[in-house]
Amino acid sequence: MAEGPRFSIEGGESFLGGYFTWNDGAPTVFAEAVFDAHPMGNSAFTWAPDITAGWIDGRDNISRFRYARYTTRDHIWMLAGGVRFQYGAPDAWYRRLFFSFQPSLHTGRTQGLSSSYEFTSTLGWQAEHWMLGLRHISNGFLHMPNRGENMLLVGVTF
């Protein structure tokens, strides 16, 4: 029986790829909808449509990039759509582990996100009412610079 989409509100800190320092992170917020899972043939793998909208704050505190063509100041608004993969029987403890992949479009240009399109991948743990995820967003070296954004997210799911 179809359950309908599950929604998560996620927040965390994003760090510029290749340039990690504790004081150079940026707040980030995402809203995500994951729809009903579908089996992949006769395997224990499932896939589910996954839509995400989010925001990554700009940073003006990285002086190294202040006068570069792509700075770190732009605020990023993002929309992504793709699939979430899971493995295992519905009652297996490891079934909560997931990997998602989403092509993404966004506003702004930064050292981390220098094109209007990116690829978003997330490795996470989905519990009944919360989620925890490691997310990486970059354009896969289709445009330079390609530092990407790396973040740890915690979310509330309903």
* Residue 127, in any domain of the structure: yes
Task: Indicate whether 20 pLDDT > 70.
Answer: no
* Residue 25, in any domain of the structure: yes
Query: Mean of the per-residue pLDDT values for the chain?
Result: 93
* Residue 1, in any domain of the structure: no
Nearest to 34 by CA among 152, 146, 140, 133: 133
User: So what's the pLDDT on residue 19?
Assistant: 67
**Domain harbouring 28, CATH code:** 2.40.160
pLDDT in tens, 82-133: 999 999 998 999 999 999 999 999 999 999 999 999 999 999 999 999 999 9
Q: pTM of the full predicted structure?
A: 0.92
* Residue 68, in any domain of the structure: yes
* Residue 106, in any domain of the structure: yes
What's CA 38's distance to the chain center, in Å? Answer: 21
Question: In the chain, how many domains are there?
Answer: 1
What's CA 45's distance to the chain center, in Å? Answer: 21
pLDDT in tens, 57-76: 998 878 888 888 899 899 99
* Residue 95, in any domain of the structure: yes
Q: Which domain holds residue 28?
A: 6-157
* Residue 56, in any domain of the structure: yes
Confidence of residue 21 (pLDDT cuts 50, 70, 90): low
Which helix H or strand E contains 47, and what residues bound it? strand 45-56
* Residue 136, in any domain of the structure: yes
User: So what's the pLDDT on residue 22?
Assistant: 65
